[in-house]
């Protein structure tokens, strides 16, 4: 098992992952969710935008946050509730970039469910 159990977590624990995003990753995500906005998939269209090249959908980066939470800190069994206040994107993600996703434990409390 990777990650930590609830008993092993401590305030201040941190983890991060970096994943290089390829054209195939963006195309697969766009196809899976049906987000056919041409800024994600059409280089000619994207060239006429402020981005200049296709970018990954914003929710794709939330998936990367979910990955670090569900695999590293805390680890298997953990879920990312996707609250806007927890998701701070620092810019667009283009193909062949390696965005970092970080997780940290500010403090520990019993789950609300």
Which pLDDT value is given to residue 90?
A: 60
Confirm if 15 and 68 have CB atoms less than 8 A apart: yes
Tokens 């979910």 belong to residue: 66
pLDDT value at residue 16? 80
Q: How many CB atoms lie within 10 A of CB 3?
A: 19
Judge contact between 70 and 78, C-beta under 8 A: yes
Residue with tokens 């520990």: 108
pLDDT value of position 8 = 82
Query: What pLDDT tens digit does each residue of the chain (113 aa) get?
Result: 577 777 787 888 888 878 888 889 889 999 999 999 999 989 999 999 998 988 888 888 778 888 888 888 877 777 776 655 555 556 676 666 665 555 656 555 665 55
Is the separation of the CB atoms in 41 and 27 below 8 Å? yes
Q: Which domains does the chain have, with CATH numbers?
A: 6-104 (3.10.129.10)
């Amino acid at each position: 098992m990777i990650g930590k159990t609830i008993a092993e977590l401590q305030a201040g624990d941190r983890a991060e992952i970096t994943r290089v995003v390829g054209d195939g990753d963006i195309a697969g995500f766009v196809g899976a969710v049906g987000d056919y906005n041409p800024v994600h998939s059409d280089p000619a269209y994207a060239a006429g935008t402020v981005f200049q090249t296709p970018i990954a959908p914003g929710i794709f980066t939330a998936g990367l946050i979910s990955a670090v939470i569900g695999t590293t800190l805390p680890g298997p069994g953990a879920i990312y509730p996707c609250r806007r206040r927890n998701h701070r994107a620092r810019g667009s993600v283009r193909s062949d970039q390696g965005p970092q996703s970080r997780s940290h434990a500010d403090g520990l409390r019993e789950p609300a469910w």
